[in-house]
A = this chain, B = another copy of it.
Amino acid sequence: MKSSRVTLTDVAAVAKVDRAVVSRVINKDPTLNIRPETRERVLAAIEELGYRPNAAARSLRTARAHMFGLFIPDFANPVYAEIIKGAEAEAAAEGYVLVTGSASSAALGDYMDRIGQGRIDGLLLAGTGGESGLISQLDRAAIPWIMLNNRSRSVKRYVILDDARAAALAVEHLVRLGHRRIAHLAGPSRADTATRRSAGYSAAMREAGLPEGPIVAADYTPAGGAAAMARLLAAPERPTAVFVANVASAIGAMEGVRSAGLEIPRDVSIVAVHDLELASYLHPALTTVRMPLGELGRRGVTLLASLKPDDTVAEVLAGPIQLIQRESTAPPP
Q: Which residues of chain A have a CB within 8 Å of any CB of chain B?
A: 1-5, 50, 52-60, 65-67, 69, 74-76, 78, 80-82, 84-85, 88, 92, 95-103, 107, 110-111, 113-119, 139-142, 222, 251, 277-278, 281-283
**Residues A76 and B76 in contact, CB atoms below 8 Å apart:** no
* CB neighbours of A101 from chain B (8 A): 88, 97-100
Distance of A216 from chain B, by nearest CB (Å): 21
* CB neighbours of A76 from chain B (8 A): 78, 81-82, 85, 277
- Please indicate which of the listed interface residues A1, A76, A111 has the most CB atoms of chain B within 10 Å of its own CB: A76
* CB neighbours of A50 from chain B (8 A): 140
**Which 5 A-B pairs give the minimum distances between C-beta atoms?**
A4-B142, A99-B99, A56-B59, A55-B116, A283-B283
Distance of A290 from chain B, by nearest CB (Å): 15
Q: Could you say which of B3, B55, B110 contacts A119, with CB atoms under 8 Å apart?
A: B55
Q: How far, in whole Å, are A222 and B117 apart by their CA atoms in the complex?
A: 45
Distance of A3 from chain B, by nearest CB (Å): 6
Q: How far, in whole Å, are A297 and B288 apart by their CA atoms in the complex?
A: 34
Apart from A75-B85, A88-B101, A281-B281, what 8 extra A-B contacts exist at CB < 8 Å?
Answer: A1-B140, A3-B142, A53-B116, A56-B59, A58-B116, A75-B75, A88-B102, A251-B281
* CB neighbours of A84 from chain B (8 A): 75, 102
Q: How far, in whole Å, are A280 and B91 apart by their CA atoms in the complex?
A: 36
**Residues B222 and A281 in contact, CB atoms below 8 Å apart:** yes
Distance of A141 from chain B, by nearest CB (Å): 6
Q: How far, in whole Å, are A100 and B70 apart by their CA atoms in the complex?
A: 10
Please tell me how many copies of the chain the complex holds.
2
Given contacts A80-B75, A99-B99, A103-B92, contact A52 B3 (CB under 8 A): no
Q: How far, in whole Å, are A25 and B5 apart by their CA atoms in the complex?
A: 30
**Residues A57 and B118 in contact, CB atoms below 8 Å apart:** yes
Q: Could you say which of B3, B4, B54, B82 contacts A116, with CB atoms under 8 Å apart?
A: B54
* CB neighbours of A281 from chain B (8 A): 222, 251, 278, 281-282
Q: How far, in whole Å, are A118 and B7 apart by their CA atoms in the complex?
A: 12
* CB neighbours of A119 from chain B (8 A): 55-56, 67
* CB neighbours of A117 from chain B (8 A): 52-55
Q: Could you say which of B5, B69, B98, B115 contacts A55, with CB atoms under 8 Å apart?
A: B115
Distance of A12 from chain B, by nearest CB (Å): 17
* CB neighbours of A82 from chain B (8 A): 76
**Residues B114 and A97 in contact, CB atoms below 8 Å apart:** yes
Q: How far, in whole Å, are A4 and B142 apart by their CA atoms in the complex?
A: 6
Distance of A103 from chain B, by nearest CB (Å): 7
Distance of A137 from chain B, by nearest CB (Å): 9
Q: How far, in whole Å, are A316 and B113 apart by their CA atoms in the complex?
A: 34
* CB neighbours of A222 from chain B (8 A): 281
* CB neighbours of A69 from chain B (8 A): 99
Q: Could you say which of B4, B97, B142, B282 contacts A115, with CB atoms under 8 Å apart?
A: B97
